[in-house]
Chains A and B, each alone.
Chain A
Amino acid sequence: MKNFVKFGLTAAAVTVMSSPLAAQETPGIDERVNEAFAAVTGPFVSLIFAPFPGTEFPWIVMWLVVAATVFTIYFGFVQFRFFKHAIHLVKGDYADPNDAGEVSHFQALTTALSGTVGLGNIAGVAVAVGIGGPGATFWMILAGLLGMASKFTECTLGVKYRNEYPDGTVSGGPMYYISKGFKELGIPGGGFLAILFSIFCILGALGGGNMFQANQAHAQISGIVGDYPGWITGIIFAVVVFAVIVGGIKSIANVTEKVVPFMGILYVGAALVILIVNYDMIGWAFSQIFVGAFTGLGVAGGFVGALIQGFKRAAFSNEAGVGSAAIAHSAVKTKEPITEGFVSLLEPLIDTVVICTMTALVIVISQQLIVDPATGNYLLNEAGTAISTVDGNTGVSLTSAAFGASISWFPYVLAVAVVLFAFSTMISWSYYGLKAWTYLFGEGKTSELTFKIIFCVFIVIGAAASLGPVIDFSDAAIFAMAVVNIFCLYFLMRVVKKELSSYATRLDAGEIKRFSH
């Protein structure tokens, strides 16, 4: 019976998915999807990316950076003071042996990382460097370092205010800490803000956690096998994701979860090999990064352009301040919520400071960005919006070409990595989106199935649309989450401060027991 139900659901999904297939006869379906999508999402995107009056600086970028700076100062540079302690926690030095078998700090961290390490690190960085030049990397690293404090704040709250149900399962995330935390502090409006966050979280799950992934996975595959309509990739992805999240085919998810970390290591390894082979250019690459950070080296918008791109892509990649990681981190077993905060601050470090920087260095060193020999500045494309690249590559194809310039077969490995990263990010975000969805509409089979079907439909749309509108909507949706989340974090940060002071005092006094050394 169970199998019959599963089959029925899969068949229903295939029917739902097949609607774009039916429209196949009409030529240019990708363009039509693209146009319709851009028209619908345009106003939302414009609002989120509205510049400060009289400038071109989007207010949202400032919003994220100011928050990360405030948290960094408010918690006394917690990302550096407790960095070593975070490593000890991940190693399990403070794990009570009696809790063996529960979710460890390492597991909570890697689960959250599999949701963040992905195309943002490969394609997103290429977008940033392609538009903002190498200087964007400097601002990206800075944003990554500051973002560690934002992540620390939200993940501590995620564990502190999670819901623990009688059946032993847990649910946590901004919607829970906003509603419960505000209530505890006697601040009104928590319920409304939690709902608002959940709505944006669903949009973020459908945008950055889904469409952007599908879009770039398609770009990568078609770059290798030749151009073909995006909706075909979309449908294949949708069917596999559907099989996992609705059909409960755990084996696919399990395989991905186990392969993705190795792909991450392989990616960083390949980048290191390229850097070692071109060791004589590393100094030059860093000088391009530093000089470009303050002069822009001729990129559109000058150094402000580099700064905006760097900050934007860092936030999109490590999601610090967005609130998504708080959902993933809240399942950990710990008596001290703050310990998960310490562990989570490693996430932007690994994601942005290490992996994103690797990508940026490889792109710069491989000289995919065309320099005007006369001025030493970068040449812009005809529209003047981005730097001209060899073969006109952008996004993931730029990264692929950069790696391919040194290791000819690496684009094939990258294609596999991209598909797997995209897939694991989609699975993670389907979970985040679902948690927000169930927060709004309640838990139940029909409610959950509705969200999962919508999620799969958006995979097809994401793969069919072109990069521009998809990336705009993805960024806008994810940043909209940050608008609500950070606003609430300002009210709740004193709760974290109290936890931090108490923990630090007990740690210094030797009251926090270390079980292994």
Chain B
Amino acid sequence: MTEKIVIGLDGTDTGERALAFAKDLASKIDACELLAVYVIEWSPFTFQTAEENERRHNRREEEINLAMSRIVDPAVEGLKAAGFKATGLVRHGDVAETLNKLTVENGGTQIIVGRASSDGFAKRIFGSSTQNLVMHADVPVTVVA
């Protein structure tokens, strides 16, 4: 059976560490695919102005293109250069929920993410995306320090 590892990227060092760990792990598995995912934090339940709504479609495309070109594509190319079979995805949504959903949809067998990079008041109230993912994921999750 092919192992499919999903790597949650966040554009920071922690994401990079998750990527390095996934590479290391994949090299030890015979049949292994990697899926690099970047989730753009977004909620359908925010309040927006009419002008924001009018331009939203455009902004979304820009956000996806930017995340693809700056974060996901370089990661996928790096993985391919290292000899792995790798693909990438960008999606809007709640980070933990979307990462889990994409993993299930794409047949992922485990998720690797970096430890939460932010600290502070909001995290104390709402918890971090990593914590939420660990609590609710349908597949095993590895959190890289």
Contacts and interface: CB of A to CB of B under 8 A. Distances in A.
A110 interface: yes
Contacts of B46: 107
B100 to A, nearest CB: 12
A254 B42 contact: no
Contacts of A108: 53
Given A92-B44, A107-B44, A169-B57, A101 B50 contact: no
A92 to B, nearest CB: 5
A171 B57 CA distance: 12
Interface in A253-286: 253-254, 257-258, 260-261
A102 B56 contact: yes
Contact of B57 (A95, A102, A114): A102
B47 A101 contact: no
Given A97-B93, A100-B93, A102-B60, A169 B54 contact: yes
B40 interface: yes
- Rank and list the top 9 A-B pairs by shortest CB-CB distance, nearest first: A101-B92, A104-B44, A331-B53, A168-B58, A100-B92, A101-B60, A168-B57, A431-B50, A103-B56
Given A110-B48, A257-B47, A260-B47, 17 more contacts: A100-B92, A101-B42, A101-B93, A102-B57, A107-B44, A107-B53, A111-B53, A168-B55, A168-B57, A170-B54, A170-B57, A171-B54, A258-B47, A331-B50, A331-B53, A332-B53, A427-B49
Contacts of B63: 101
Contacts of A115: 50
Interface of A: 92, 95, 97, 100-108, 110-111, 114-115, 167-171, 253-254, 257-258, 260-261, 327-328, 331-333, 427-428, 431-432
Interface in B32-69: 40, 42, 44-51, 53-58, 60-61, 63-64
A428 B50 CA distance: 7
B66 to A, nearest CB: 12
How extensive is the interface on chain B, given as a class?
20 to 34
7 contacts: A100-B42, A106-B44, A114-B47, A168-B55, A261-B47, A328-B50, A428-B49
Interface of B: 40, 42, 44-51, 53-58, 60-61, 63-64, 91-93, 98, 101
Nearest to B62: A168
What is the predominant secondary structure among interface residues of chain B facing chain A?
A: helix
Nearest to B51: A431
Nearest to B94: A100
Contacts, number: 87
Contacts of B50: 111, 115, 327-328, 331, 428, 431-432
A257 B51 CA distance: 12
A103 B49 contact: no
B91 to A, nearest CB: 6
Given A168-B58, A171-B54, A331-B50, A104 B45 contact: yes
Contacts of B91: 97, 100-101
A107 B60 contact: no
A328 B61 CA distance: 21
A427 B56 CA distance: 18
A260 B54 CA distance: 20
B116 to A, nearest CB: 22
A95 B47 CA distance: 17
A148 B47 CA distance: 22
Contacts of B60: 101-102
Contact of B53 (A92, A103, A168, A254): A103
Nearest to B44: A104
A138 B44 CA distance: 35
Contact of A111 (B45, B49, B58, B93): B49
Nearest to B53: A331
